[in-house]
């Protein structure tokens, strides 16, 4: 009987230790908020390993971030002015036409996306220097403006930070 209790306790203790090891292995999310007086938007940066490489200015409102290394994850934020009656799918098709010339380009599926701004996602793959790459573009609409969040990187690396790219896009909001 004592041995039977020990076995049950041992199994429960093993499960508890495994659970606590998994929880402690998950990195703490230290979200910071990106905002700048030269742009009218903001978003959460979910990990301190995202570093700004291009700061917006009065003459160049573009913003760029890199996750660890440019090939691990690269974000470019672009602002596109479009007519109110232009569909987001038409904006995606126009952007996709530019991508078709990438070596090994393979179109992925489009997805609807919702966050503080609604829109769509375009996924694709291509090859750079013999390595499989991927792109995940978020098209977020606010009136006559579509904000394009272009994430690119090694296919496996970009897939591993997808939760972070989704957080950035979900928290993207117009502040002005």
d(CA 128, CA 57): 30
More confident residue, 175 or 17: 175
Residue 117 clears pLDDT 70, i.e. is over it: yes
Mean pLDDT for the stretch of residues 165-170: 98
Q: What is the pLDDT of residues 62-110, one digit of tens each?
A: 999 999 999 999 999 999 999 999 999 999 999 999 999 999 999 998 9
40: phi then psi, degrees, rounded to nearest 5: -100, 25
d(CA 62, CA 38): 9
Q: What is the DSSP string of 126-172?
A: EEETTEEEEEEEEEEEETTEEEEEEEEEEHHHHHHTHHHHHHHHHH-
Residue 126 clears pLDDT 80, i.e. is over it: yes
- For residue 30, the model assigns a pLDDT of 64
Domain boundaries, the chain: 29-174
- For residue 7, the model assigns a pLDDT of 53
Residue 6 clears pLDDT 90, i.e. is over it: no
Residues 6 or more apart in contact with residue 159 via CB below 8 angstroms:
134
Q: Which CATH superfamily is domain 29-174 in?
A: Mog1/PsbP, alpha/beta/alpha sandwich (3.40.1000.10)
Scored b (16 or more CB within 10 A) or e, 4-19 reads eeeeeeeeeeeeeeee
- Model pTM? 0.81
- For residue 61, the model assigns a pLDDT of 87
Q: What is the pLDDT of residues 15-74, one digit of tens each?
A: 433 333 433 334 445 679 999 999 999 999 999 999 999 999 989 989 999 999 999 999
Q: Could you tell me the pLDDT band of residue 175, with boundaries at 50, 70 and 90? A: confident
From residue 120, alpha-carbon distances to 97, 123, 131 in Å are 17, 10, 27
- For residue 31, the model assigns a pLDDT of 77
Contact 51, 66 (CB under 8 A): yes
- For residue 15, the model assigns a pLDDT of 40
């Amino acid at each position: 009987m004592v041995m039977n209790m020990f076995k049950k306790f041992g199994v429960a203790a093993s499960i508890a230790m495994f659970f606590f090891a998994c929880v402690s292995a998950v990195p703490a999310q230290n979200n910071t908020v990106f905002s700048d007086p030269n742009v009218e938007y903001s978003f959460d940066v979910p990990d301190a390993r995202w570093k700004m490489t291009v700061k917006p200015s009065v003459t160049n409102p573009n913003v760029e971030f890199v996750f660890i290394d440019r090939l691990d994850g690269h974000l470019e934020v672009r602002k596109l002015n479009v007519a109110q009656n232009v569909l987001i799918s038409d904006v995606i098709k126009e952007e996709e036409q530019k991508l078709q010339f990438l070596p090994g380009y393979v179109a992925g599926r489009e997805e609807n996306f919702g966050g503080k701004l609604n829109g769509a996602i375009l996924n694709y793959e291509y090859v750079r220097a013999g390595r499989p790459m991927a792109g995940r573009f978020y098209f977020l609409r606010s009136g006559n403006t579509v904000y394009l969040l272009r994430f690119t990187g090694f296919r496996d690396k970009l897939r591993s930070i997808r939760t972070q790219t989704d957080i950035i896009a979900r928290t993207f909001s117009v502040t002005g």
